[in-house]
Amino acid sequence: MNKNLFTYKKSGVDIDAADRFINFISKFSTKKRGQKKFNNIGGFGSVSNIPKNFKNPKIVACTDGVGTKIEIANMINKHDTIGIDLVAMSVNDLIVQGAKPLLFLDYISINQINLNKLKSIIKGIIKGCKISDCELVGGETAEMPGTYTKGKFDIAGFAVGIVDQKKILNKKKIKKNDIILAIPSSGLHSNGYSLVRHLLKKKKINIKKNSFLKNELIKPTKIYVNEVLKLVNKNLINGCANITGGGLADNIKRVIPNNLCAEINLSNIKTLEIFKWLKKNNIKDNEMLKTFNCGVGFCLIINPKNFKKVLKYFSKDFKPYKIGKITNKKNKVQLNEKISWL
């Protein structure tokens, strides 16, 4: 073979390795819905059925990534849960409208294909889809030498859901005197990691040698799909919010009508150990609240009479609890009292 020949592989792109990865994904069988199942993996586009049990179906779509949590996965060389985060970040947004997740696609861009790393990532994505009861119908893997440095990658997710028009959660359903419930987070979820990494660097903390941080910082995002959709089907909630980037105030105000206000008593929030640790490292309260979920992963807005009924749908570790109420004040969000970090 002429060593002077220019080839794609010499430039850093290994199509054969990409084909092996596609074959690996194709071996996984996703859950059937009692209808004809299409084999989409490896094609140019995915084909899927629309469920028949929706009288007036509306499509809801969203996309998200996991931010710099990827760098934590690289630090500790653990990539089998980051895919759960990827699915969670999109499907937890879908259910805010009351939509049931149907389809998920991923996009992975990497400097050079590493089959072991990619297999770990995709296993997490498949697990996240299983938890969400949706199908991984396709995706894209891009090998991009020169764009990413050695070992670096990024991932994005795209989810499609469906909701009957009568079940859509919108601002009109939220009323004065509704109560606001906090569903606990599993930890940081996938937000605030640039600040976390900055702190680790300044404090010269090696998380490989710190079992608490190693476990907490890679802990996957809680997926709230099953619990919330049961509440939607039973007409037990008037609104909800996924608490991601921007924290509690920025996210909940997105679902509050202009003539109402979400009054939240911060002292009611049950913080987790990871947030207490962060707070001890000279981070102000307002910075904590706008950067992290601080223990509140998802919020429900319900009629007070439904409170006990709602609790029945949650496990012990994720029981919702009251943190506020809806009032007729002009500002959309009012944060009262102070959060306790003890």
133 and 282 in a single domain? The answer is no
How would residue 35 be classed by pLDDT, with cut points 50, 70 and 90?
A: very low
Residue that terminates a domain, selected from 136, 167, 198? 167
How much of the chain is in helix, strand and coil states, percent to nearest 5? 35, 20, 40
123 and 180 in a single domain? The answer is no
How would residue 30 be classed by pLDDT, with cut points 50, 70 and 90?
A: very low
- The letter for the amino acid at 218 is I
4 assigned to some structural domain:
no
273 assigned to some structural domain:
yes
117 and 178 in a single domain? The answer is no
Question: Strand 100-110 relative to strand 135-143: parallel, antiparallel, unpaired?
Answer: parallel
305 assigned to some structural domain:
yes
Please report, for residues 47, 153, 180, 189, 204, the alpha-carbon distance to residue 197 in angstroms, rounded to integers and kept in the order given: 40, 17, 32, 15, 10
What mean pLDDT do residues 59-72 have? 96
How would residue 104 be classed by pLDDT, with cut points 50, 70 and 90?
A: very high
124 and 176 in a single domain? The answer is no
Residue 18 has pLDDT above 60, yes or no: no
% of residues, the chain, pLDDT over 70: 87
What mean pLDDT do residues 183-199 have? 97
- Look up residue 154 and give its two tokens: 């990024």
How would residue 100 be classed by pLDDT, with cut points 50, 70 and 90?
A: very high
Which residues form the domain of 82? 15-27+54-167
228 assigned to some structural domain:
yes
147 and 259 in a single domain? The answer is no
5 assigned to some structural domain:
no
183 and 329 in a single domain? The answer is yes
Query: pLDDT tens digits for 146-166?
Result: 888 888 999 999 999 999 999
122 and 176 in a single domain? The answer is no
Domain total of the chain: 2
Residue that terminates a domain, selected from 139, 167, 195? 167
163 and 266 in a single domain? The answer is no
Query: pLDDT tens digits for 109-157?
Result: 988 888 889 999 999 999 999 999 999 988 888 888 888 888 899 999 9
CATH of the domain at 80: 3.30.1330.10
What mean pLDDT do residues 181-197 have? 97
Asked if residues 155 and 86 have their Cβ atoms less than 8 Å apart, the reply is: yes
175 and 258 in a single domain? The answer is yes
126 assigned to some structural domain:
yes
241 assigned to some structural domain:
yes
139 and 177 in a single domain? The answer is no
For the whole model, what pTM was predicted?
A: 0.90
Q: How far apart are CA 294 and CA 13, in angstroms?
A: 42
161 and 59 in a single domain? The answer is yes
61 assigned to some structural domain:
yes
How would residue 174 be classed by pLDDT, with cut points 50, 70 and 90?
A: very high
Residue 38 has pLDDT above 60, yes or no: no
22 and 129 in a single domain? The answer is yes
What mean pLDDT do residues 299-320 have? 97
CATH of the domain at 177: 3.90.650.10
In which region does residue 227 sit, left (phi positive, over 0), alpha (psi from -120 to 50) or beta (all else)?
A: alpha
